[in-house]
Structure 1
Amino acid sequence: MKAWHALVPIKAAADRKTRLADRLSPGERIALSERMLRHVLAILQATEAIGSITLLASDPVAGWYGARLSDDGRGLNAEVQAAAARIGDPLLVIHADLPALAVADIRALTHAGRNGVALAADRHRRGTNAIALGRRDDFVFAFGPDSLARHRTQCSATAIIERPGLALDIDVFEDLTLFAGDRAARQAQIAF
């Protein structure tokens, strides 16, 4: 099989982790999102199945000198759909807020998706944190609330991957506390 292409969408800095605004300052939210992004990128770079990585971002991201497609503000699903059409198969779409992600997680996901579609469920089994598309066919991205169910309805043979590194995304303070512990979460001091 050809090497996988990873697509990592990331919001504009001012729009990142807004659900943490009651606990973290704008600077802390940006720093947190950048640390998680660097971690996800490092894991992707260390995974032998990944041949290339592209960020989907409205602005250049500090420290990233690889490929970037511009996010033109049409919404996550429309932007990912357009980027996927340009990139081709096999494609891994993975969110940038997975601080516990490991190489073994990427291996499991891409292996499961090599002949079709594999979805990485969030810890609540409602959201989708990553999608491995060995063959895209007519797949339509449907990220957002209850995306796992919407993605599953498109493919009868979809594999659901449940691994801690893929399941824990950081959206609300409870997620941050689960990963970093209460004191560290309050201070937004994540070391990974």
Structure 2
Amino acid sequence: MDPAHHTPPAGQAHVLIAVKELGRAKSRLAGRLGPQERTALVLAMLRDTLAAAAGATGIAELTVITPDPVVARVARECGAGHYTDPAGEDLDRLNAVLRAAAADAQSSSGRGPVVALQGDLPCLRPHELSAALAAARAPRSLVVDHHGTGTAALIVLDPDADLDPRFGPDSARRHRLSGAAVLTGDWPGLRLDVDTAADLDAAVRLGPGAATAAELDRIGWPGITGADRRIHRS
């Protein structure tokens, strides 16, 4: 961890968010948004995700895992730590660096829970993450995304347990097969990660956070204007 890392109170959770290089981010939005717009949107969604996670009960520390210096700077501006991720495309590399960051957090975070959280959750509400953490009872639990195939959050309660991340295609099934329990709460903002234009439209309907709303307003995304930003952070 970088110097922003500190030791949180015992029993409080440490949230890990992995973000790839900005030049490779959100390629499935390329048909609607240019490179600079995608970059700005990724950073806006990260800011909203971090703000919501920071406001959740039971969360003591946030760390962004990234090889991108701009993402690392935004993480620090939002009060999060930074764990350096070597650049690369391989999903096993992503899972390996998540496992390494989780082990680092577990060794220095008061032996509390560790949460691997998606960084593109613009509609996340603090109470949703609080409720998911409170609902977790098994050593490892997951929150399935709104598509039913991905993993919005992976939670490990046992400080001696491996996070054992299985992110990548069909990760929800792979996490279930690895023994993680499925959490079934009504948490639409926690489940709504954004990869496609349809996901972004769904986020507009649900109500994004302030940073994402402002960026969508700037680029003129349909359904959101400066006079109509449905923002709910409680």
Asked whether the two chains share a fold, i.e. TM above 0.5, the reply is: yes
1:116 match: 139
The reply on whether 1:77 has 2:110 as its aligned counterpart is no
- SS class of match (1:83): helix
Q: How far, CA to CA, are the matches of 2:21 and 2:142 in structure 1? A: 25
Per-residue CA shift, 1:107-163, capped at 9, x if unaligned?
12111225522211111211101111112624421111111010011226x132352
**Structure 1 contact 127–146 (Cα < 8 Å) conserved:** yes
State the distance in 1 between where 2:192 and 2:84 align. 27
Contact 2:192 2:199 in 1 (8 A): yes
Paired with 2:147 and 2:157, the residues of 1 have a C-alpha distance of 25
- Identity over the aligned pairs, expressed in percent? 34
TM-score by length of 1: 0.88
State the superposition RMSD in angstroms: 2.2
Query: Counterpart of 1:38 in 2: which secondary structure?
Result: helix
- Give the deviation of 1:177 after TM superposition: 1.4
- Evaluate the alpha carbon distance shift between residue 150 and residue 104 of structure 1 in structure 2; reply closer, same or farther with a 3 A threshold: same
**What residue is the counterpart of 2:204 in the other structure?**
180
For these two proteins, the number of residue pairs brought into alignment is: 189
Higher-Rg structure is 2
Structure 1 distance, partners of 2:75, 2:98, is 19
Task: Specify which of 47, 61, 67 is matched with residue 81 of structure 2.
Answer: 67
- Counterpart AA for 1:129: A
Residue 145 of structure 1 is matched in structure 2 by 169
Instruction: State the match for 2:209 in structure 1.
Output: none
Report deviation, 1:165: 0.9
2:41 is matched with 32
- Could you tell me the TM-score, scaled by structure 2's length? 0.74
